[in-house]
């Protein structure tokens, strides 16, 4: 039991003064970043030709480490009161976002091993191999900055959902209106409302690729209005997240105990 508890202490986020836990975190973080570098280098044909064997060996080593880490988390998570039940607790832990990310970090390797026997084509194999980039999401377990970002988004999810709803409504409305304005003049370009949504997206984001644009005066006027509204609507979620960060930082700075009486401050 003590071994299981100590394992859980080590593989969870390092506690202050726990050198074993800190060393484990640094090792896993280094391995994650090296995996991302390996995936990038593997896409360069000359490097893949010259060092393909080394990259493959590193891939196998990384998968073994990540698999052992995942199994140790499943084995030791029952020491946490939230997952104390041997079966239901482990299942609950396995369905947590971070545990799912840990699973996705190793699953593509085993899937790629099995796919050739089923005659799967090379294009799908490349998609599976690309999923190795999920390993970078493991950084969230060890990064306080990413953890803070997650808390801010979770706290502001209702406000963000409202702004997203407004953005979708504007996207659909402007696309529909532009389709009826420009379709008679450009039936090939603005062929349907879904096709016109591409114009709405690049206009709302003020990217303006220039591959689809209005030619009628009314269409140009609508584009101007939509571009201005797009700037305002995209600034809205940025402001919501910024306010969430300010609240998070102020919450950390707020003293938890009264300096006079020593009681907890609500």
Q: Which domains does the chain have, with CATH numbers?
A: 2-142 (1.20.120.350), 157-253 (1.10.287.70)
pLDDT in tens, 26-47: 898 888 889 888 888 888 888 8
Give the helix ranges, DSSP H, for 43-156: 45-76, 88-94, 97-114, 122-130, 139-142, 144-155
pLDDT in tens, 106-120: 888 888 777 666 655
Task: Pick the closest to residue 29 from 17, 13, 9 (CA basis).
Answer: 13
Using only the alpha carbons of the chain, give its radius of gyration. Answer: 25
Which pTM value belongs to this model?
Answer: 0.66
């Amino acid at each position: 039991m003590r071994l299981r508890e100590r394992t859980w202490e080590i593989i969870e986020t390092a506690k202050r003064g726990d050198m074993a836990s800190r060393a484990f975190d640094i090792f896993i973080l280094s391995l994650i970043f090296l995996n991302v570098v390996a995936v990038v280098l593997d896409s360069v044909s000359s490097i893949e030709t010259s060092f393909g064997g080394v990259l493959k060996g590193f891939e196998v080593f990384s998968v073994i480490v990540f698999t052992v880490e995942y199994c140790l988390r499943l084995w030791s998570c029952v020491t946490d009161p939230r997952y104390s039940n041997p079966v239901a607790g482990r299942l609950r832990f396995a369905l947590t976002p971070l545990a799912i990310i840990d699973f996705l970090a190793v699953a593509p390797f085993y899937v790629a091993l099995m796919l050739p026997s089923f005659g799967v084509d090379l294009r799908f194999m490349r998609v599976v191999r690309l999923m190795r980039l999920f390993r970078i999401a493991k950084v969230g377990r060890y990064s306080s900055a990413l953890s803070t970002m997650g808390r801010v988004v979770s706290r502001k999810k209702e406000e963000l959902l409202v702004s997203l709803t407004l953005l979708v409504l504007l996207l659909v409305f402007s696309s529909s209106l532009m389709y009826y304005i420009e379709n008679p003049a450009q039936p090939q370009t603005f062929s349907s409302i879904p096709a016109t949504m591409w114009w709405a997206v690049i206009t709302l984001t003020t990217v303006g690729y220039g591959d689809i644009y209005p030619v009628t005066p009314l269409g140009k006027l609508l584009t101007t209005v939509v571009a201005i509204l797009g700037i305002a609507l995209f600034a809205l979620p940025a402001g919501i997240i910024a306010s969430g960060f300010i609240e998070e930082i102020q919450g950390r700075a707020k003293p938890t105990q009264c300096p006079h009486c020593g009681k907890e401050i609500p």
